[in-house]
Structure 1
Amino acid sequence: MASPFVFEREVPRRDGSAGLRLAQRSGGGTGCVVWDAALVLARFLDKSAAHRQAPPGRRLRLPLLRKAVLELGAGAGLVGLMAATLGANVTVTDLEEVQDLLKMNIEKNQHLVTGSIQAKVLKWGEELTGFLPTPDYILMADCIYYEESLEPLIKTLRDLSGPQTHIICCYEERTIGKNPEVEQRFFELIQKDFELEKVPLEKHDEEYRSEDIHIFIIQKKKMNPPS
């Protein structure tokens, strides 16, 4: 059987410096292309870093420099790579069948990385090994799609995150088929253990934004001390 065709997409950065170049694969499954939610989240991270010197009240504080960052369902790796160019120490994760594409894209963009980046296999819901210390940030773009994956995903978020971990979740709202029910179920489940804050659309990148693509910042609920 012939290998899926590999084609490339360039994603520009806000400062006008060299953009990220992502190899994609046609016919390789959902994890082998750059989805719109990944573009929105990557440029949101870039914007947040670009505004770190803005006056208080006019910026969203997401300092990535020297922070431990883990991406779930990384696919082609755009979001994690963007974080690594902003100085974060990143682990991008996905299933075994996506690892060669992830590693290819890490190699293609290594010259832009100012932090560090590595790829690891992670299947949601399974016991975690080799993922310590607890990350400062967990990134996830378009990970809300299959009903059967919701509970394993949320278990993995519970296992990976500590009280100071910020989960940045970006997803595209879809109205066909079971998508609305799946999205509703995700938010029902995650609010049992986590608090959610929606990022207003005006905080997204000015060019890479859409009313159908949402960003939430999620943290574990604080436990009340025993009386």
Structure 2
Amino acid sequence: MLETLGSRTSSTLSLNFLAGISEDAVPSRPTTTPESEIKIAVDGLDVPLKLSVDAGPGCGGITWPSGEVLTKYMSWRHSTDPDYLKNRTVLELGSGTGLVGLAVGLLQPSAKVYITDQKVLLDLMQRNVDLNFHQEVSSEADNGTSVCPVQVAELDWGGELPPGVPHEPDLILAADCVYFEVNGLTCLVISLQAYADADARFFKMLAKHFSSTQVDDDRPGEKEKYEREGVKLLRLVRTK
């Protein structure tokens, strides 16, 4: 079974929630300076996760609220069930900075994590892998040499899967993976209507092959907090 933890939208079976979202609930673009470095505390890690962020490549080069929510959820899920990610192959779509996938790899080094995005973001993702893993890696290959649990790969997920990307991962992660282009510029949110239209098209396509349910999140107050910011966590299960 493939599971996808997505964000910012509800099921395609109930898209009428979009009409009730106010503009204040749409996540605003975080501010950042070009080529800066930030640190994000992740429960379960002894040291903060380091991220190089750069708005130069576009929206994917910075962090967004949905990615941080998904990172916190995966950390909590790992703490409640340490075997959940053990030895699993994890594929993150539209990774951007690589935040979510990096956190998974640091939390569970036995996992094989692939953080993917379009070519323009590959260098940024690799810098972030190097920042967090350096030469110290935690899983051992069969030949006794050290290998990094997080791999960077190019994937335009609207097209064919290229070599080097797992075709049957155990878990697929995606946060803020819906975007659209205006005058050749990739933008996540320009207006509420465009945001709603993009999400509606995305989930109509997903409905052909996946069912969608909201993720159970028992952390006190967390679900209410991120839903006030227009963020939702969903589980997508392949139906055919």
Q: Residues 42-191 of structure 1: matches in 2 within 5 Å?
A: 42-52=71-81, 63-87=84-108, 88-110=111-133, 114=138, 116-130=149-163, 131-146=165-180, 176-191=192-207
One-letter amino acid of the structure 1 residue matched with residue 199 of structure 2: E
| Bigger relative CO (Cα 8 Å, ≥ 6 apart) | 2
One-letter amino acid of the structure 1 residue matched with residue 87 of structure 2: R
* In 2: Cα distance, 1:49 partner to 1:205 partner: 19
Question: Which residues of structure 1 form unaligned runs of 5+?
Answer: 54-61, 149-171, 223-227
**Paired residue secondary structure (2:192):** coil
Taking every aligned residue pair, what percent have the same amino acid on both sides?
Answer: 30
One-letter amino acid of the structure 2 residue matched with residue 210 of structure 1: Y
TM-score, normalised by the number of residues in structure 1: 0.73
One-letter amino acid of the structure 2 residue matched with residue 104 of structure 1: R
TM-score, normalised by the number of residues in structure 2: 0.69
Quote the residue 2:57 is aligned against: 28
* In 1: Cα distance, 2:170 partner to 2:107 partner: 14
Label 1:204 to 1:64 Cα distance change in 2 as closer, same or farther (>3 A).
farther
Q: Deviations over 1:107-148 (max 9, x none)?
A: 000158645011011112322232235100111110122289
Question: Which residues of structure 2 form unaligned runs of 5+?
Answer: 1-32, 140-148, 183-187
Q: Which moved more, 1:37-46 or 1:207-216?
A: 207-216
- Determine if the alignment matches structure 1 residue 192 to structure 2 residue 213: no
Q: Deviations over 1:4-27 (max 9, x none)?
A: 831112111213610101000133
* In 1: Cα distance, 2:90 partner to 2:125 partner: 16
Q: Which moved more, 1:200-209 or 1:131-140?
A: 200-209
Label 1:219 to 1:70 Cα distance change in 2 as closer, same or farther (>3 A).
same
* In 2: Cα distance, 1:80 partner to 1:43 partner: 12
1:207 CA displacement: 9.3
* In 1: Cα distance, 2:106 partner to 2:173 partner: 15
Q: After the TM superposition, which segments of 4 or more aligned residues of structure 1 sit over 3 Å from their partners?
A: 111-115, 172-175, 200-209
Q: How many residues align?
A: 188
RMSD between aligned residues: 2.9
